[in-house]
């Protein structure tokens, strides 16, 4: 006797009419026509059953602070950093916890059950670190929160930042962060990459740096990061976030860089909503998109995740913890409109970030944790197109959020009464099932 069976599901890899059996908090069967009984059954009715969304790049200490103490008038990254430094002295631990928990509620409702959040360590009080460590424990039953020690104002540029960062790691922060392009000089940037990678190697921790988040094609710290990862044996444990300067780099240089990144076992994390918003701000026209080269990175065997980065904070006035909105923007900005490419965009907010974060037991397979999201869509491309409703969100075999199906009633004579958002693709070409590039990533 099982606890739960989800019947007649479509899986992200294209398998159809699949039943998923759950006992306690584990998936025990994934097969068509499962011959078993269960205490509870959900009829997926040919809709998409996916593993939960995973956000590989977020700032939970800043989220939901939009307008505090004022809004970002220029809309630039640098005014956002300035604004954040104005807000920091006013932060309280209670307010940080309250905002973070509220965001986690939004995340659960959207089927987002794992988040890697950077947390600023430049304030010697480490208020935000302590608040988010508390939140990490509070949400553990329903959301995996991973924290990155992030020296927002530069680890070399800010007196005491390195000590603060080490104290944050001592307190239990999971990942070493950095921001080399914000250090005073290119040399300082490279030096920060080296010392932070050495620190991570010493402590056996992963690295995730804000790297080259600028339109300046001469910002090439990713090269140093790839080399440090190779030299220190950190392959598979280093992520480079943003990499927007790659958008503007010379093609010849990128042709050299991509194999170096693959050799260093780097993962890349693009943040489409924020990159398209913050980059290109000094351009007139043509205006650059600013997002890194996602299809080229994937083709080079480098895993790429799409992150949310910001929601209602000094940098961004939008967002809603909806990783399908993130994938939707990523798909458009990267022009990933082929069927396989759209499927890859879905992987960029599910299985690829799960591997970057090293989440154990992730995915729809026997033995894995029964973390599942039932979407009102028939396949990953449709889920992205419709930013599909999360009909049910399941964590460890237990339903933790439900949303009614999106529908609209028409009042038009001679027309159906309800809107059907799907397109019958019975005569469409069959979908190829291209493998997502392998990712060697796993946490130590």
C-alpha–C-alpha distance, residues 384 and 343, integer Å = 9
CB of 59 to Fe ion, least distance (A): 6
Q: Active-site residue numbers? A: 213
CB of 140 to Fe ion, least distance (A): 23
Q: Which residues contact 414 (CB under 8 A, 6 or more apart)?
A: none
| 227 vs 309 by CB, closer to Fe ion | 309
User: Cis (ω within 30 of 0) for the bond into 286?
Assistant: yes
| 156 vs 243 by CB, closer to Fe ion | 243
C-alpha–C-alpha distance, residues 310 and 318, integer Å = 8
| 178 vs 280 by CB, closer to Fe ion | 178
Q: What Å distances lie between residue 311 and 162, 180, 274, 317, 318, CA to CA?
A: 27, 23, 10, 7, 6
C-alpha–C-alpha distance, residues 133 and 153, integer Å = 21
| 310 vs 370 by CB, closer to Fe ion | 310
Residue 213, token pair as written in the block:
């988040």
Contact 191, 154 (CB under 8 A): no
| 216 vs 250 by CB, closer to Fe ion | 216
Per-residue x/- mask for Fe ion, residues 272 to 311, rule CB under 5 A?
Answer: -------------------------------------x--
Query: Which residue's C-beta sits nearest to Fe ion?
Result: 309
| 120 vs 309 by CB, closer to Fe ion | 309
**51 φ, ψ to 5°?**
-70, 165
CB of 164 to Fe ion, least distance (A): 18
Nearest-CA neighbor of 306 among 328, 339, 287, 278? 328
CB of 175 to Fe ion, least distance (A): 13
Across-strand partners of 2?
38
Alpha helices by DSSP H, 144-271: 161-171, 186-203, 221-231, 245-248, 251-263
C-alpha–C-alpha distance, residues 60 and 77, integer Å = 17
Tell me whether strands 390-395 and 398-402 are parallel, antiparallel or unpaired.
antiparallel
Per-residue x/- mask for Fe ion, residues 304 to 343, rule CB under 5 A?
Answer: -----x----------------------------------
Nearest-CA neighbor of 64 among 326, 305, 316, 344? 316
CB of 268 to Fe ion, least distance (A): 13
CB of 271 to Fe ion, least distance (A): 6
C-alpha–C-alpha distance, residues 168 and 164, integer Å = 6
Which position has the token pair 């890697």? 116
Total residues interacting with Fe ion, rule: CB under 5 A = 1
CB of 213 to Fe ion, least distance (A): 7
Contact 147, 175 (CB under 8 A): yes
Contact 309, 366 (CB under 8 A): no
| 278 vs 388 by CB, closer to Fe ion | 278
Contact 344, 336 (CB under 8 A): yes
The footprint of Fe ion (CB under 5 A) covers 309
């Amino acid at each position: 006797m099982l606890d739960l069976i989800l019947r007649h599901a479509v899986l992200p890899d294209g398998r159809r009419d699949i039943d998923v059996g759950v006992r306690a908090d584990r998936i025990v069967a994934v097969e068509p026509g499962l011959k078993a009984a269960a205490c509870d059954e959900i009829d997926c009715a040919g809709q998409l059953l996916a593993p939960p969304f995973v956000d590989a790049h977020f700032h939970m200490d800043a989220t939901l602070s939009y307008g505090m103490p004022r809004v970002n008038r220029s809309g630039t990254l640098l005014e956002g950093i300035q604004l954040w430094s104005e807000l920091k002295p006013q932060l309280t631990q209670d307010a940080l916890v309250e905002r973070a928990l509220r965001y986690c509620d939004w995340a659960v409702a959207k089927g987002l059950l794992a988040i890697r959040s950077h947390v600023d360590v430049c304030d010697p009080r480490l208020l935000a670190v302590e608040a988010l460590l508390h939140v990490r424990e509070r949400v553990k039953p329903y959301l995996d929160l991973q924290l990155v020690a992030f020296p927002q104002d530069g680890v070399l540029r800010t007196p005491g930042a390195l000590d603060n960062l080490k104290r944050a790691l001592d307190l239990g922060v999971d990942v070493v962060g950095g921001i080399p392009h914000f250090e005073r000089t290119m040399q300082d940037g490279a030096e920060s990459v080296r010392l932070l990678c050495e620190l991570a190697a010493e402590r056996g921790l992963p690295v995730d740096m804000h790297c080259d988040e600028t339109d300046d094609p001469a910002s090439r710290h990713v090269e140093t990061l790839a080399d440090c990862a190779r030299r220190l044996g950190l392959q598979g444990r280093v992520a480079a976030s943003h990499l927007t300067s790659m958008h503007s780099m010379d093609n010849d240089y990128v042709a050299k860089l991509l194999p170096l990144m693959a050799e260093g076992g780097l993962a890349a994390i693009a943040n489409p909503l924020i990159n398209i918003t913050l980059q290109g701000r000094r351009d007139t026209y043509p205006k650059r998109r600013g997002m890194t080269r996602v299809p080229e990175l994937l083709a080079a065997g480098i895993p790429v995740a799409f992150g949310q980065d910001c929601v209602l904070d000094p940098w961004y006035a939008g967002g809603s913890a909806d990783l399908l909105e993130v994938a939707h923007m990523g798909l458009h900005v990267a022009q990933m409109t082929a069927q396989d490419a759209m499927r890859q965009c879905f992987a960029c907010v599910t299985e690829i970030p799960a591997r970057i974060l090293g989440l154990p037991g992730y995915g729809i397979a026997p033995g894995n944790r029964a973390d599942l999201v039932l979407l009102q869509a028939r396949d990953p491309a449709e889920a992205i197109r419709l930013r599909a409703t999360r009909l049910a969100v399941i964590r460890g075999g237990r339903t933790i959020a439900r949303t009614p199906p999106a529908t609209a009633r028409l009042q038009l004579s001679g027309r159906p009464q309800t809107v059907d958002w799907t397109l019958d693709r019975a005569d469409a070409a069959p979908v190829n099932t291209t493998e997502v590039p392998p990712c060697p990533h796993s946490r130590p």
